[in-house]
Structure 1
Amino acid sequence: MEFSEYLKLLGAILTSVGGATVVIIALSKWFGDFLSKRLLDNYNNKHKTELEGIKIKYQGELEKTKTDLEKAKSQFIRYSEKQFDLYNDLWKVLLYTKHQADELWASAIPEKIPAFGEQIKLTRDAIDDNLLLIEEEHYDKLIELITQFDQFQFGKIKLVEIRSKPLEERENITTEQAKRTINQNKRTKENFDNLLMEIGQSFRNQIKG
């Protein structure tokens, strides 16, 4: 075989091998692109499914939260309305009790003391009966006010007893003792007057929200 024929044979082999290589490379590229696309599609589908699941889950939780908020809002409105009515009614009771105390301060008439004591009891009952609707800080002040009313009643009873004693017994009671009782009643009245105004302001703030 001549040298030129060897060259032709070698060229044919190289051409054959080169063509196969090109085909292999092309197939490899196509398969790689196909596999990558499939993997990417699978990932996207899985990711999309997970996102839909999360969306549905949180959508349900959001709806439940909205329902709970609406329920809480409705309950708060009903509570506020009842509290508004209570504070208005309770304030009227407190003012009436103060009015009776003012009358006793102006004139310590013995016949008025039992009615004042009964009014204190009614006021205390009104507070206790509506405990669930009264703010804690307001309740504490109201109980303090009732205590002041009780002390004022006691002071008036004491003063009436002093003035109602027979003349022979009054000799043992000095003017200073009577004056101390009157001054103590005055301080008690000033205390419950100031406390009542403080309660009125706190009631007003509570109603305004």
Structure 2
Amino acid sequence: MSIEEILKIATAIIASLGGSALLLGAFSHWLGGIWAKRMLQDERAKHEQSLQELKTKNEAALEDLKAQIDTLKQKELTRHFDKLSIYKDVIHIVSEILRELEAVSSSKQKSINPDVEHSFALNRNKAYGYISLISCQEVLDKYNEMIDFFIPIMYEGSDSTWEEMRGKADSMLNAMRKDLGINEGNIAYRGER
């Protein structure tokens, strides 16, 4: 075998292998592209499914949170109106006794009307209980200060001025206003009587 023949055979082998390699490379590239597209489609589908599940969970959680907020709002609104109602009742009791104390302190009448005294004695303890159930300690403290101020006047004949009595009532009212969220400052009696 001559060198020329060896070169021809080697060239033929290399050419045949090179052509196959080229075909094999092209086929691998084509097949790899198809697999890559399929894998990408599978990954996209998985991600979209995960996103949809997450979106559904988030929507459900958001609806649950909205329902909880609505329930809390309703409870707080009911509590606010309960406080307002009880505070109105307490103010009624206090107004009644203040009227009597003012009449006695200004010498318009000699003594407190027994019916008013009885009503006050009965209702002041109810008011204490109601305030204790729905209010804060500050309101209860101001209520107690006022009642403790009124009792010696009513039962022991202690003297007091209208301004002092009214001041105790205003102090309680300011605590109630604060508890109700009315933050426009304190109120004070600025009248002449």
TM-score interval, smaller chain = 0.7 to 0.9
Aligned length: 181
What corresponds to 1:71 in structure 2? 71
8 A contact 1:101–1:116 mirrored in 2? no
Partner amino acid, structure 2, of 1:133: I
Deviation (angstroms), 1:93: 2.0
Quickly say closer, same or farther: Cα 1:112–1:195, change in 2 above 3 A.
closer
Residue deviations 1:147-191, cap 9 Å, x none?
Answer: 1111222431xxxxxxxxxxxxxxxxxxxxxxxxxxx6337x655
**Residues 1:185 and 2:159 are matched in the alignment:** yes
Distance (whole Å) between structure 1 residues aligned to residue 181 and residue 126 of structure 2: 18
What corresponds to 1:152 in structure 2? 153
8 A contact 1:141–1:199 mirrored in 2? yes
8 A contact 1:97–1:120 mirrored in 2? yes
Deviation (angstroms), 1:202: 3.3
Distance (whole Å) between structure 2 residues aligned to residue 111 and residue 95 of structure 1: 17
Task: Identify the structure with bigger relative contact order (alpha carbons < 8 Å, sequence gap 6+).
Answer: 1
Residue deviations 1:87-135, cap 9 Å, x none?
Answer: 2332122122111112222349765374564243134134135233334
Deviation (angstroms), 1:15: 1.1
What corresponds to 1:174 in structure 2? none
Quickly say closer, same or farther: Cα 1:154–1:111, change in 2 above 3 A.
closer
Larger Rg: 1
What corresponds to 2:189 in structure 1? none
8 A contact 2:138–2:175 mirrored in 1? no
Partner amino acid, structure 1, of 2:150: F
Q: Percent same amino acid at aligned positions? A: 22
Higher helix share: 1
What corresponds to 2:170 in structure 1? 197
What corresponds to 1:89 in structure 2? 89
Secondary structure of the residue that 2:159 maps to in structure 1? helix
Q: TM-score normalised to the size of structure 2? A: 0.75
Quickly say closer, same or farther: Cα 1:121–1:202, change in 2 above 3 A.
same
Q: TM-score normalised to the size of structure 1? A: 0.70
Structure 2: runs of 5+ lacking an equivalent: 184-193
Residue deviations 1:47-79, cap 9 Å, x none?
Answer: 222222222222111111111222222232233
